[in-house]
């Protein structure tokens, strides 16, 4: 230390080093409010606003502060604090045996933010819904990647390349179900892993309470005990600076310790708003898997699974109508089912297509009018100027064959009927004939622009004519 150094110079030099090692928001939040007080015999005293501020510095920046102080004052350099308490100051001396490296946790007397005061409970409750399992998560093309990744994580939490596992998709597609399923599978394996599910809203509220109670260290230490942490709807953490700061450190400590993180969101990490790049980049370390809207077959499988759980047996035309109209939200499928059962019980009537149509009106603004195979046959026959009966016959006249194939193609694309059901409408033909007809129409559309335009006009006419009904 040179003879002309004073506390302002030393701390100013320290700040230059610190600024290079933390992001701008952290520097502004945790270091700009600090005031250097005095420099005495190799010990720099700094004043911090409150006890929470002191605890946060000691928990998260102890190594950085030690490095900068020793860089300026030598190997024997020390740091002391003055904490403002109700306008007065309290001196705290930094001791070597107080230092804790990243990820170390004193597990004595750690407070559990999920426990209501006055209720003793030592074991960490996972906060999982036991009904959300892999067994009742229906797999389809829309979710196969995410489900497979979730199963891999459940078998070896923290031991795969899928860490973190980020699951994203629109509302009601099963993000929460899948995240819970992973947690439940880990518990079922009997490995004694500490699993915890928390919504972003609850996580934020816990942080607010910990700040009010000067217990941020306890909060962070509690989360360091978790082996598999599931945070739901992380998009709601955006623009919450203190929450994101604490979450960033919890994320880092868990990841560095080989713990598993599972996050859900309504959008991919690159599109999340109000989050720092350093956090976004960490979300990309593992696997990002999306959940898409289920196709008709998957919706049918989901609905049938729900019916089996409830012991229901609905007519096929009812289930097909539900799945044809509820396309983008699995929760709405469940809601329709519950409403149907309620209406049936209250009105003492069987669940039929008429009741189903009335119930679905409460879930969708406009019910898609049914497009039938018979209607398509009539429209195509009229357009080709051939008798509709001929489409069911065995004639090989080119114009009739083309009209028949086009009718099958439109039925495949515009109705929810199976290939077998479509074939039966054309004189009992089998599904392979329908497949061949669809391929023939598709191939002709690729080579004949006039025919392609004709098909497009027919599709438009079918939809418009139904809307006018």
Q: How confident is the model at residue 86 (pLDDT cuts 50, 70, 90)?
A: low
**Mean pLDDT value of segment 62-91:** 80
Given this model, what pLDDT does residue 294 score? Answer: 83
Cα separations (Å) of 208 from 27, 52, 212?
21, 12, 6
**Mean pLDDT value of segment 21-27:** 81
Is the residue at 212 inside a domain? yes
Given this model, what pLDDT does residue 97 score? Answer: 40
In CATH, what number is assigned to the domain containing residue 48?
Answer: 3.30.300.180
Q: Which two tokens stand for residue 116?
A: 């209501």
Q: Does 151 share its domain with 272?
A: yes
Q: Does 11 share its domain with 65?
A: yes
Q: 99-103, 196-200, 261-265: lowest mean pLDDT where?
A: 99-103
Q: 19-23, 32-36, 128-132: lowest mean pLDDT where?
A: 19-23
Is the residue at 1 inside a domain? no
Q: What percent of the chain has pLDDT over 90?
A: 17
Answer yes or no: is pLDDT of 101 > 80. no
Is the residue at 45 inside a domain? yes
Answer yes or no: is pLDDT of 106 > 80. no
Given this model, what pLDDT does residue 52 score? Answer: 73
Is the residue at 105 inside a domain? no
Given this model, what pLDDT does residue 234 score? Answer: 92
Q: Does 273 share its domain with 154?
A: yes
Q: Does 283 share its domain with 317?
A: no
Between 95 and 351, the higher pLDDT residue: 351
Is the residue at 121 inside a domain? no
Q: Does 155 share its domain with 178?
A: yes
449 CB contacts (<8 Å, ≥6 apart)? none
Given this model, what pLDDT does residue 385 score? Answer: 86
Q: Does 26 share its domain with 57?
A: yes
Is the residue at 103 inside a domain? no
Answer yes or no: is pLDDT of 94 > 80. no
Cα–Cα distance, 332 to 335 (Å, whole number): 5
Q: How confident is the model at residue 102 (pLDDT cuts 50, 70, 90)?
A: very low
Given this model, what pLDDT does residue 370 score? Answer: 63
Give the range with max mean pLDDT: 79-93, 204-218, 290-304, 421-435: 421-435
Q: Does 277 share its domain with 404?
A: no
Q: Does 198 share its domain with 314?
A: no
Between 430 and 53, the higher pLDDT residue: 430
Q: Does 436 share its domain with 389?
A: yes
Domain count, the chain: 4
Which strands form 260-265's sheet, in the order they lie side by side?
A: 195-199, 228-232, 260-265, 165-169, 287-291
- Indicate the residue among 272, 291, 310 that finishes a domain: 291
Answer yes or no: is pLDDT of 341 > 60. yes
Answer yes or no: is pLDDT of 332 > 90. no
Domain that holds residue 345: 296-360
Question: What pLDDT, in 10s, does the model give residues 298-314?
Answer: 888 888 888 887 778 88
Given this model, what pLDDT does residue 5 score? Answer: 65
Between 447 and 118, the higher pLDDT residue: 447
- Full-model pTM: 0.55
Is the residue at 441 inside a domain? yes
In CATH, what number is assigned to the domain containing residue 259?
Answer: 3.40.50.300
8 A C-beta contact, residue 425 and residue 381: no
Q: 13-17, 88-92, 258-262: lowest mean pLDDT where?
A: 88-92
Q: Does 276 share its domain with 170?
A: yes
Given this model, what pLDDT does residue 316 score? Answer: 82
Between 101 and 84, the higher pLDDT residue: 84
Question: What pLDDT, in 10s, does the model give residues 118-135?
Answer: 434 446 788 898 989 998
Question: Are β-strands 287-291 and 165-169 bridged in parallel, bridged antiparallel, or unpaired?
Answer: parallel
Given this model, what pLDDT does residue 4 score? Answer: 47
Answer yes or no: is pLDDT of 469 > 60. no
120-157 burial, b for 16+ CB within 10 Å, e for fewer? eeeebebebeeebbbeebbeeebbebbbebbbbbbeeb
In CATH, what number is assigned to the domain containing residue 342?
Answer: 1.10.8.60
Question: Dihedral sign, CA of 361, 364, 367, 371?
Answer: negative
Question: What pLDDT, in 10s, does the model give residues 362-402?
Answer: 766 544 456 788 888 888 888 888 888 888 888 888 889 99
- Indicate the residue among 291, 309, 327 that finishes a domain: 291
Average pLDDT, the chain: 82
8 A C-beta contact, residue 204 and residue 236: yes
Q: Does 256 share its domain with 178?
A: yes
DSSP 8-61: HHHHHHHHHHHHTTS-HHHHHHHTTT-EEEEEETTEEEEEESSHHHHHHHHHHS
Cα separations (Å) of 451 from 9, 14, 437?
83, 76, 15
Is the residue at 412 inside a domain? yes
- Indicate the residue among 291, 319, 343 that finishes a domain: 291
Q: Does 323 share its domain with 427?
A: no
In CATH, what number is assigned to the domain containing residue 438?
Answer: 1.10.1750.10
């Amino acid at each position: 230390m040179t003879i002309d150094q004073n506390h302002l110079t030393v701390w100013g030099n320290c700040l230059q080093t610190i600024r290079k090692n933390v992001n701008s928001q952290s520097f502004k939040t945790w270091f700009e409010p600090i005031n250097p007080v005095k420099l005495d015999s190799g010990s720099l005293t700094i004043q911090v606003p409150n006890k929470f501020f002191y605890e946060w510095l000691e928990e998260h920046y102890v190594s950085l502060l030690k490095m900068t102080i020793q860089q300026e004052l030598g190997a024997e350099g020390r740091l002391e604090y003055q904490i403002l308490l109700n306008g007065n100051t309290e001196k705290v001396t930094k001791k070597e045996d107080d230092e804790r490296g990243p990820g170390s946790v004193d597990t004595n007397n750690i407070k559990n933010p999920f426990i209501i005061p006055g209720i003793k409970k030592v074991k960490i409750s996972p906060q999982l819904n036991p009904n959300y399992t892999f067994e009742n998560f229906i797999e389809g093309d829309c979710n196969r990647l995410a489900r497979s990744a979730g199963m891999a994580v459940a078998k070896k939490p923290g031991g795969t390349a899928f860490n973190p596992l980020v699951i994203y998709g629109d509302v009601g597609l099963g993000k929460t179900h899948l995240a819970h399923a992973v947690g439940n599978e880990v518990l079922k394996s009997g490995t004694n892993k500490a699993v915890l599910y928390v919504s972003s809203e609850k996580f934020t509220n816990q942080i607010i309470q910990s700040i009010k109670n000067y217990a941020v260290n306890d909060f962070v230490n509690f989360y360091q005990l978790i082996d598999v942490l599931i945070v739901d709807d992380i998009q709601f953490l955006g623009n919450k600076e203190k929450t994101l700061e604490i979450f960033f450190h919890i994320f880092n400590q868990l990841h560095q310790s080989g713990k598993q993180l599972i996050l859900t969101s309504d959008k991919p990490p690159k599109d999340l708003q109000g989050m720092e790049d350093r956090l976004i980049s960490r979300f990309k370390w593992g696997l990002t898997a999306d959940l898409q809207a289920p196709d008709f077959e998957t919706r049918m499988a989901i609905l049938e699974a729900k019916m089996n759980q409830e012991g229901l047996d609905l007519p096929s035309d009812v289930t097909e109508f539900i799945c044809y109209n509820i396309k983008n939200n699995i929760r709405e499928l469940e809601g329709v089912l519950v409403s149907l059962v309620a209406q049936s019980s209250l009105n003492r009537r069987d669940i039929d297509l008429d009741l189903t149509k009335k119930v679905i009106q409460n879930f969708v603004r406009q019910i898609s009018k049914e497009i039938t195979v018979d209607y398509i046959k009539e429209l195509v026959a009229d357009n080709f100027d051939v008798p509709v009966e001929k489409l069911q016959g065995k004639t090989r006249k080119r114009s009739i064959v083309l009209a028949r194939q086009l009718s099958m193609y439109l039925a495949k694309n515009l109705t929810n009927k199976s290939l077998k059901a479509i074939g039966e409408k054309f004189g009992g033909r089998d599904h392979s004939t329908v497949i061949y007809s669809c391929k023939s129409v598709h191939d002709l559309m690729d080579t004949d622009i006039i025919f392609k335009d004709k098909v497009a006009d027919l599709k438009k006419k079918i939809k418009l004519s139904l809307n006018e009904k």
